[in-house]
Amino acid sequence: MSHSDCQQPAIRCAVSARILAILFSTFVLSGCLSSTPIVADDPHVFLPSLRAAVSLDDNKQALSEPQTGKAIEFEYVRAKGHGEQNLSTNQAPVYYNSTTFTPPQQLTNNFNFNYADISFRWRKFFKERSLGLEVTGGIGHTSMDLTVASPTLRASDHFGNYGPQGGVALIWRMRPSTSFHARLSGFVSSADTGIKDMVRYELFVAQALGDNLALRAGYAKWGIDGDAGAYKSNFKSTFSGPTLDLGWNF
């Protein structure tokens, strides 16, 4: 047997290993590597918010009372919570910020969420001013710190982006200074990472406190979906709980 014949098996093995490495790299870089989304659900979150509205009309009643007209509205909401996620044996790993959480194990996902927006608000009241329709639209900004932790590993990242937002609401004026609101609103973003879309449901009672101040109390539920970036697990969260909003009207 010649020396070249002895080298052929080694050459074939090296070529095969190189081909396998190229195929694996292509598989990973193409985004085909499966992963489990990060889930942080919390049904016991307190949702405080601040709101300010500047009327664009000549108002004949207290600005704190809901009425037909147009306004520019500013809003800020925050939420802090956590969710437990069971990563079972038959699931793919969670990939997050250069850290791999391999199943099976229990994860604790903590989030700190902030949302602010500026909107054009239009309201119209019908039926002797007892039932009203509200439509809003503008620009929103989401900000979220998300931490994933297991008994042995921990990874954190921050996301923030802008996007269009809007909502629609029905308002029932029980009396001039007291009203009930049912609202649906949403946010979307075309950014590569961060919160891609968000939906919010709200039910609350609003009480005017003088001419310019109003207090809202009720219940809200938020749902968000996000992208943590290339080769990382996506994330989603549903959180809900009591809401308390203090608003100034000018």
Q: Does some domain include residue 94?
A: yes
Task: Record the tokens describing residue 217, joined without a space.
Answer: 């109390």
Residues 6+ apart with CB under 8 A from 245: 48, 49, 50, 51, 204, 215, 216, 217
Q: Does some domain include residue 76?
A: yes
Q: Residues 175, 208: contact at Cβ < 8 Å?
A: no
Q: Residues 64, 121: contact at Cβ < 8 Å?
A: no
**Residue numbers of the domain that contains 85:** 34-249
Q: Does some domain include residue 58?
A: yes
- The distance in angstroms from the start CA to the end CA of the chain is 96
The pLDDT assigned to 18 comes to 55
**Gap between the Cα atoms of 1 and 188, Å rounded:** 69
**Secondary structure of 202-236 as H, E, C letters:** EEEEEEEECCCEEEEEEEEEEEEEEECCCCCCCEE
Q: Does some domain include residue 93?
A: yes
Q: Does some domain include residue 179?
A: yes
Task: Give DSSP secondary structure letters for the chain.
Answer: --HHHHHHHHHHHHHHHHHHHHHHHHHHHTT-S--PPEE--BS---EEEEEEEEE-S--SS-TTS--SEEEEEEEEEEEEEEEEEEE-TTSPPEEETTEEEPSSEEEEEEEEEEEEEEEEEEEEEETTTTEEEEEEEEEEEEEEEEEEE-SS-EEEEEEEEEEEEEEEEEEEEEETTEEEEEEEEEEE---SSEEEEEEEEEEEEEEEETTTEEEEEEEEEEEEEEE--TTS--EEEEEEEEEEEEEEE-
Q: Does some domain include residue 4?
A: no
pLDDT per position in the chain (250 positions), as tens? 554 454 555 555 554 545 544 444 444 443 446 889 999 999 999 999 999 999 999 887 899 999 999 999 999 999 999 999 999 999 999 999 999 999 999 999 999 999 999 999 999 999 777 999 999 999 999 999 999 999 999 999 999 999 999 999 999 999 989 999 999 999 999 999 999 999 999 999 999 999 999 999 999 999 999 999 888 999 999 999 999 999 999 9
Q: Does some domain include residue 55?
A: yes
Residue 152 belongs to domain with CATH number? 2.40.128
pTM over 0.85: no
Q: Does some domain include residue 188?
A: yes
* Chain centroid to CA 212: 31
The pLDDT assigned to 8 comes to 56
Identify whether 164 is preceded by a cis peptide bond (ω within 30 of 0).
Answer: no
Q: What is the count of structural domains for the chain?
A: 1
**Gap between the Cα atoms of 90 and 87, Å rounded:** 8
